[in-house]
Amino acid sequence: MAAISRRAFLAGGIAFFPYLYYQRVSVAVRRYRVPVQNLPSGFHGFTILHITDLHDKEFGERGEGLLAILRGLSFDLVAVTGDLVLRTSPSITPALELIRGIGLFSKSPVFSVSGNHEWGAQLAPHVNANLVQAGVRVLINEAETLRRGEDRLWVVGVDDPVTGRARLAQALSRTDARQPRLLLAHAPHPFPQAVQAGVDLMLVGHTHGGQIRLPLIGAPYIPSMGYLPRWDHGLFRQGKSTMIVNGGLGESWFPIRINNPPEVALVTLLPSETAGSTAKQGLD
């Protein structure tokens, strides 16, 4: 009996390694439908591709494995919320290849904000300059308006909250609260202030979903957020504000994911009277 148990143990251990590999390289597409109050008709069905926390990771040569997935998606805007590089060995090349690859099949505008790894590597200005050259609109505590005819949607971006560089009041100062406002931030930290300001939708990363997720518990620990953090992954709603915490594509510290594959998010805006009062999510 003991010998059988040992063999079963070894077989289970061997099978676990392919599982770990699959968890790191497979990419899930997580879809959200978010009701927005007073959403102008020009932005009904407006869809955002949210990418975050690449951390130098490559999905095939020149990111072709990930790009093959993204080509099958339909979106109107690309939101990139930081940590494109890894602080300990930063390389902007995988992120630039991904951005340029998206540009080959999509004319959607790309907006970006910085994360704590760009700042930790003291490369945020360098990374941002390269993104601008690739056609990305980098938002540093500022906002820009998108127009569809007479209708407007504000895209707001704050600098990294983890390193204390986010200035939400400054970023919102030019916006009109009567029009929908999309907030990009690297981490969930400013969510209470975003709720108070009446931001409609906030897209963030940073957490990696905890990288390791435990059943019924979620993420046991996230740097800068502590143990059993409240905003670890998925959709959160308070008042009129919705926040989506994207688990991201890469890893930091340890190259491992358990019960938590890499992901991109596809977020569709719908009028509140059509979508109902509750945001919804699904997984491909």
Q: 2-283 sits in which CATH class?
A: alpha beta
Whether residue 241 contacts residue 194, with contact meaning beta carbons closer than 8 Å, is answered with yes
Kindly state the average pLDDT of the residues 125-142.
97
- Tell me if residue 100 falls in helix, strand or coil: helix
Instruction: Provide, rounded to the nearest whole percent, the portion of the chain with pLDDT above 70.
Output: 88
Instruction: Output the six-digit token pair for 215.
Output: 């059943």
pLDDT for the residue numbered 51: 98
Residue 119 has pLDDT above 80, yes or no: yes
Q: Which of 275, 250, 266 is nearest to 94 (CA)?
A: 250
The torsion region of residue 56 among left (phi > 0), alpha (psi -120 to 50) and beta comes to left
Residue 208 has pLDDT above 90, yes or no: yes
C-alpha 5, offset from chain centre:
43
Segment (H or E) for 65: helix 64-70
- Higher-pLDDT residue of 10 and 139 is 139
Instruction: Provide, rounded to the nearest whole percent, the portion of the chain with pLDDT above 90.
Output: 76
pLDDT, tens only, 175-187: 999 999 999 999 9
Residue 96 has phi, psi (to 5 degrees) of -65, -40
Residue 25 has pLDDT above 70, yes or no: no
Residue 155 has pLDDT above 70, yes or no: yes
Average pLDDT of the chain, as a whole number = 89
Q: Which of 49, 60, 25, 52 is nearest to 118 (CA)?
A: 52
Least reliable range by pLDDT among 22-26, 86-90, 139-143, 190-194: 22-26
Question: What's the CA gap between 225 and 104, in Å, rounded?
Answer: 37
Kindly state the average pLDDT of the residues 86-102.
95
pLDDT for the residue numbered 279: 67
pLDDT for the residue numbered 9: 38
Pairing of strands 201-204, 241-245: parallel
Confidence of residue 278 (pLDDT cuts 50, 70, 90): low
Kindly state the average pLDDT of the residues 119-123.
94
Confidence of residue 8 (pLDDT cuts 50, 70, 90): very low
